[in-house]
Amino acid sequence: MTGNREAPGAEAHRSAVRSLLRLWPFVRPARGRLLAGAVLAVLASAMSLVIPLALKWTVDGPIADREPSGVWLGGLAILVLGVLEAGLFGLRRLLVARPLAEVEATMRAAFYRHLQRLPVAFHDRWASGQLLSRATTDLMLLRIFLAFALTFLVVNSLTIVIGFVILLLQRWTLGLVLLAPVIPLVLLCRSFEARYSLAARTAQDQVGDLTTVVEESVLGIRIIKGFGRHRGQQRAFEALSARVRATELRKARLLGALWAVIMLLPEAAIGAALVLGVREVADGGLTAGALVAFLSTALALRWPVESLGFLLALSNEAATATDRYFEVLDVPVPDDAVAPGGASGAEGAPAPKEAPASRASPGDGLRLEGVEFRYPDAPPGAPPVLRGVDLHIRPGETMALVGATGSGKTTLTALIPRLHEATAGRITLDGQDVAALPRERLRELVAVAFEEPTLFSASVGENVLMGGADAGPDELARALAVARADGFVRALPQGAETRVGEQGLSLSGGQRQRLALARAVIGKPRFLILDDPLSALDVHTEAQVERALREVLATTTALVVAHRPSTVLLADRVALLSEGRIAAVGTHHRLLRENREYAWLMSAPEGGRAPRGDLQEGDERP
């Protein structure tokens, strides 16, 4: 999904100024240099308005009096003014380049930091390409706006106002002729802003979709090639590219029409002023130098006036980029900890219901009481994924969690480290409600290894050490040995310093899974959550890892999602999860004898639909 988008037309009624004002907290540290840069730009633009006065003096003085030395002096004055103008613009660029780069870096860091703090439910709803485009393309547009458009909207507006004051002082009748197009231009710009904002937002969202397709195609290149789907992917990419191109062409047509009118009306006004001015010179009411100065001033105002369309386009694109940026930053981050009995939920998640008083006490292990979970974007009326889950894992005990595909096993394991927030009930670790624990402390107590291991573009050692903040080489060696990864790691070109590449795809599935397991155990956590951690291993490697893993499980409280009997045998007891509830708890052999559903799951192919098995006599209650 592409994330939450506003209804079409919403952008047309949004104030671009109000959106851009939200950048002020990031721009505030650079305000001194930006103001100094704007002053330099105003002074540089003033040079262009002084040049016509030098021309007037040259024409009415040395040229009219046929004094060559005076002409050289006038030419030198114009040259000096031109050099000053260029130098001031260059100094402005040097002055603002560094602070604006820092503003962009600060905004990108704030965006990334916020993404890391947002709940998993947010990332489930948003396409990564949309987030990537906001962190790259949109921030680039904002830097361009701050470096160029913002300054010159102010500078060119001041230049136009000062220029027209000079024109009216020089010849007010001709000045009024040049002012005639102002009202039509203002009305045109207002209409353009509304239409261009909508087109700009559409284009930026479409670029996000295109980025998502590219990213997914690169990450899934093995699937695409394996199934020969490259032509289909190419067609999908071309269709999205065509949509982006059509939107960009619509933007170009809007900007082209605006620019044509902005250029045509002032040029027509200058032409009319020229005709009237020549008549006044012929009648003796105006000197030739005054007419040259007037027309030179009018021509100096051409760029400030004609640039308005381009600057408005940049400003509207920056406003939509700001809106897209703050769409993510405005998503609330769950509180680090709240009072027991109420968990800080993911955005849109209902507040947890109050659970009965806990029987937990220090050293009580892991306990779930009346736990319920419903995804925030679930359809109204849809049953919760988990409902009324009660489970107690004693200190030092290993509990296997077994259930049919889709029964909610992975969801349940995600609630313990608060990757998702329970919508009802409570979860305690040695008597402490996880909702009341600071997340940093919670992640120190609980380590997780997922069925789908994720590795980063870093070395093997760096990937494993992510699981232990204070771990060193000795702990790394121990964790690799526990996961039976030390052998293949030593065989890598640079050993543990070898970079594994994006997503760790340079390694086999079993190797990635073993490194993920090593990452989970390196910090010697008090609670260990393993989501089918051995599914990608061959039987021989699985047996080796199981032997080493038994040593780790003997010193920790663990919940292990299992699909195979060999993994179940690592556990002291087994919990059967059926239709979002704990249906039975007991030893593997007892459940195998007395529970039809459990026996079916242990004998049927993975993912087979198990018959509903009622709790049999002899099974333990949760």
Q: What backbone torsions phi and psi does residue 43 show, to the nearest 5 degrees?
A: -65, -40
CA distances from 438 to 334, 336, 346 (A): 11, 5, 16
CA distances from 257 to 11, 189, 202 (A): 21, 11, 19
Give the single-character DSSP code of 570.
T
Calculate mean pLDDT across residues 154-165.
Answer: 79
Percent of the chain residues topping a pLDDT of 70? 81
CATH number at residue 151: 1.20.1560.10
Give the whole-angstrom CA distance, residue 556 versus residue 500. Answer: 30
Of the three residues 303, 329, 355, the one that is the final residue of a domain is: 329
Residues 324 and 270 in one domain: yes
Helix (H) / strand (E) element for 515: namely: helix 509-521
Which residues is 403 bridged to in the sheet?
Answer: 577
- Residue 65 pLDDT: 57
Q: Is 604 left (phi over 0), alpha (psi -120 to 50) or beta?
A: beta
Give the whole-angstrom CA distance, residue 339 versus residue 362. Answer: 18
- Average pLDDT along the chain: 77
Percent of the chain residues topping a pLDDT of 90? 2
| Residue 467 in domain | no
| Residue 614 in domain | no
- Residue 445 pLDDT: 86
Of the three residues 305, 329, 353, the one that is the final residue of a domain is: 329
CA distances from 454 to 46, 510, 515 (A): 59, 12, 9
- Listed residue (36, 166, 204, 30) closest to 106, CA to CA: 30
| Residue 370 in domain | yes
- Residue 94 pLDDT: 82
* pLDDT-derived band at 537, boundaries 50, 70, 90: low
Residues 251 and 385 in one domain: no
Residues 317 and 372 in one domain: no
User: What tokens were used for 197?
Assistant: 């904002």
Give the range with max mean pLDDT: 56-60, 222-226, 380-384: 380-384
| Residue 178 in domain | yes
User: What tokens were used for 243?
Assistant: 């949509």
Domain of residue 24, residue span: 11-329
- Listed residue (35, 21, 20) closest to 96, CA to CA: 35
- Which tens digits make up the pLDDT trace of 481-501? 888 888 888 888 888 888 876
Residue in the block written with tokens 């997503």: 503
Query: Pick the residue with more confidence: 595 or 376?
Result: 595
Residues 447 and 589 in one domain: yes
* pLDDT-derived band at 57, boundaries 50, 70, 90: low
Residues 510 and 537 sit within 8 Å (Cβ to Cβ): yes
DSSP codes of every residue in 158-218: HHHHHHHHHHHHH-HHHHHHHHTTHHHHHHHHHHHHHHHHHHHHHHHHHHHHHHHHHHHHH
User: What tokens were used for 474?
Assistant: 């000795």
Give the whole-angstrom CA distance, residue 601 versus residue 464. Answer: 33
Give the whole-angstrom CA distance, residue 582 versus residue 584. Answer: 6
Residues 162 and 267 in one domain: yes
| Residue 337 in domain | no
Residues 320 and 373 in one domain: no
- Residue 277 pLDDT: 78
pLDDT above 60 (res 12): no
* pLDDT-derived band at 67, boundaries 50, 70, 90: low
Query: Pick the residue with more confidence: 615 or 560?
Result: 560
pLDDT above 50 (res 619): no
pTM value is 0.68
- Residue 325 pLDDT: 92
- Residue 66 pLDDT: 64
Query: Pick the residue with more confidence: 614 or 216?
Result: 216
Residues 318 and 385 in one domain: no
Which range has the worst mean pLDDT, 344-348, 381-385, 493-497, 574-578? 344-348
Which range has the worst mean pLDDT, 7-16, 98-107, 415-424? 7-16
- Residue 326 pLDDT: 92
Residues 318 and 381 in one domain: no
- Residue 274 pLDDT: 78
Of the three residues 275, 302, 329, the one that is the final residue of a domain is: 329
User: What tokens were used for 512?
Assistant: 């990635």
pLDDT above 50 (res 344): no
* pLDDT-derived band at 535, boundaries 50, 70, 90: low
Residues 268 and 412 in one domain: no
- Residue 567 pLDDT: 80
Give the whole-angstrom CA distance, residue 521 versus residue 515. Answer: 10
Split into its structural domains, the chain has a count of 2
CATH number at residue 545: 3.40.50.300
| Residue 396 in domain | yes
Residues 151 and 18 in one domain: yes
- Residue 13 pLDDT: 43
Residues 187 and 78 in one domain: yes
Which range has the worst mean pLDDT, 233-247, 355-369, 372-386? 355-369
Calculate mean pLDDT across residues 285-297.
Answer: 74
- Listed residue (430, 431, 460) closest to 525, CA to CA: 430
Residues 437 and 539 in one domain: yes
DSSP codes of every residue in 81-114: HHHHHHHHHHHHHHHHHHHHHHHHHHHHHHHHHH
Residues 423 and 373 sit within 8 Å (Cβ to Cβ): yes
| Residue 472 in domain | no
Residues 476 and 523 sit within 8 Å (Cβ to Cβ): no
